[in-house]
Amino acid sequence: MKDILAAIQTKYTGSALDAATNGLFLGRAPEGAALPYLVIPYVQEVHSNAEPNLSYEDFTVQISAFSASTGASEILDLFEKVKSLFDEASLSLSSHTLVRMRRLRDRLLPEPLPERGWGLHVDYLIETDVN
């Protein structure tokens, strides 16, 4: 799991998505973080040795973007940048061999008071073979 998170951070750093946001945080953004920003609220891992001599791990990772803008243009622009960076992305992994990173679903939701902005939640399936 550590390898996956490090690869996502490396992919993000210096990208157009990095330039458009104020950080990528694990779990939750720190108190007072300036919007817009990204959060990875959860990572789920499924390990299988279903066949002899074959071991793989699949990860479900959610990448969430948050915007204070009451209009949808900023969050939709962030969505395009998330898709551009992570849809079918190649990740550099040390303990796994990446098979595929694909988007499973995405949800755009208005944020409750006091922020009154938008939240975008994108789930990715990262399929790997264990080295």
Q: Is 92 exposed, middle or buried (0-12, 13-18, 19+ CB in 10 A)?
A: exposed
Which pLDDT score is estimated for 67?
Answer: 94
Tokens (6 digits) for 22: 């104020």
Give CA–CA dist 68/35, Å, rounded.
Answer: 6
Longest dimension (CA), the chain: 54
Q: Does 125 fall in a domain?
A: no
pLDDT value at position 95? 86
Determine the distance from the C-alpha atom of residue 44 to the mean position of all C-alpha atoms in its chain, rounded to a whole number.
Answer: 12
What pLDDT is attached to residue 114?
63
Q: Which positions of the chain have pLDDT values less than 70?
A: 49-53, 113-115
| Residue 91 included in any domain | yes
pLDDT in tens, 20-44: 999 999 999 999 999 999 999 999 9
- Inside any domain, residue 130: no
- Would residue 61 count as lying in a domain? no
- For residue 94, what are its two tokens? 């040390």
In a domain, 42, yes or no: yes
The count of C-alpha atoms lying within 13 angstroms of the C-alpha of 32, restricted to the half-sphere facing its C-beta, is 0
Q: Which domain holds residue 12?
A: 2-47+67-116
For residue 60, tell me if it sits in a domain: no
> Which backbone phi and psi does 44 adopt, to 5 degrees?
-120, 135
Buried b (16+ CB within 10 A) or exposed e, 69-83: eeeeebbebbbebbe
Model-wide pTM > 0.85: yes
Total count of domains within the chain: 1
Query: What is the per-residue pLDDT for 107?
Result: 97
Tell me if 57 is assigned to some domain: no
Residue 127 within any structural domain of the chain: no
Q: Tell me which residue of 58, 53, 11, 38 sits closest to 122, measured CA to CA.
A: 38
